[in-house]
Amino acid sequence: MPNVSSTFFLAPYSSLGYPKVVCFSALQGKASSIDSSPSQSPIPRLFSRGCKLVGCGSAVPSLQISNDDLAKIVDTNDEWISVRTGIRNRRVLSGRDRLTTLAVDAAQKALDMAKVDPDDVDLILLCSSTPEDLFGSAPQIQKHLGCKRNPLSYDITAACSGFVLGLISAACHIRGGGFQNVLVVGADGLSRFVDWTDRGSCILFGDAAAAVLVQACSGDEDGLFGFDLHSDGDGQRHLNATIKEDETNDAAESNGSVFNFPPRRHSYSCIHMNGKEVFRFAVRTVPQSIEAALQKAGLPASSIDWLLLHQANQRIIDAVADRLEIPSERVISNLANYGNTSAASIPLALDEAVRSGKIKAGHTVAAAGFGAGLTWGSAILRWG
């Protein structure tokens, strides 16, 4: 039987000042494996309000670590790393850098490109799994940008999928909440959670921050055509940095209590990753997700000007491009210079491609993130 689904959303404010609620119903054909999640529901094309990406910026630490540098501390070499990953260098936070400072720098560059004053920012979303405050670092970005109207600022934790989730969240705030200017910042300092004695993982990660400004526009200028989002908690065993009791704890810290109170101090472990399983997960789910987003956008794969994936491994990027039949000259990759920068990787590559003139206003980009959780998602968007 055909499947009828209904989606409710808030339209822009009516003349009386109240948001209008619109019901969008879609009559779908035979159910399939990609029709079971609200995150995959077709995007209603009934908006009188859309959103578009109008500015970007990025910032990286000053310390560059090459493959040859890593070969001095673990049993590896430049050829072994570059052949398996495509990575040759990465930037790493040192005593001179703070992740929040990089995030503020990237956000300011995005505002400058968009010609938007910090006081006109309505919302700041920080996509990060490594904030410098347990309770989130987004409000510090608001503070240091000098946003005097105290716009809402909060963190989104979704590892390497974080930026895509932040982008979709920004669109929802604009389309349904009446926001005008939303900063989406991807920033991670995974080097702080890397086991630098493990050559299988320490070669992969770098630190960076990058941002985009998402701005409200009329419905006919809407620049987010379709999206697709998922998670699978069963896959957490393949990629995680779980909480653990500090090894320095001893019996004296328990104050002699037989009830284990007060609780012992805990911290996060180093990143654990099963590389083979993560590779299989990515090359299977990412093409499916992009194809689903294209289907909901009503666009063929041939309409994609650029493929922009989370920069995790060049083999993954190449495999996904092959599956989608996208030639290498239309694939964005800066992995060789920065490694895997988690939530920062997509906006970092986007910023470089825009500023170099590769991505131009009006180009259609298929972006996809994937990683810990496990989470994955894609968005079909237009730049400018």
The answer to whether residues 202 and 70 touch, using CB atoms and an 8 Å cutoff, is yes
Angstrom distance (rounded) from CA 55 to CA 271 = 32
Concerning whether 230 is annotated as a catalytic residue, the answer is no
Cβ count near 83 (within 10 Å) = 10
Angstrom distance (rounded) from CA 358 to CA 154 = 32
Q: Select which of 56, 160, 202, 313 is catalytic.
A: 160
Amino acid letter for position 314: Q
Amino acid letter for position 351: D
Concerning whether 340 is annotated as a catalytic residue, the answer is yes
Angstrom distance (rounded) from CA 197 to CA 202 = 7
Stated length of the chain: 384
Q: Select which of 67, 181, 313, 340 is catalytic.
A: 340
| Torsion 197-202-207-211 (CA) sign | negative
Q: Select which of 127, 310, 313, 337 is catalytic.
A: 310
DSSP string, 325-347: T--GGGEE--HHHH-B-GGGHHH
The answer to whether residues 213 and 55 touch, using CB atoms and an 8 Å cutoff, is yes
Concerning whether 144 is annotated as a catalytic residue, the answer is no
Alpha carbon 193 to its chain centroid, in Å, reads: 18
Angstrom distance (rounded) from CA 334 to CA 246 = 37
Angstrom distance (rounded) from CA 208 to CA 196 = 18
Angstrom distance (rounded) from CA 272 to CA 239 = 6
Q: In angstroms, how far is the first alpha carbon of the chain from the final one?
A: 41
Structure tokens of 126? Answer: 């920080």
Maximal C-alpha separation, the chain: 68
Active site residues: 160, 310, 340
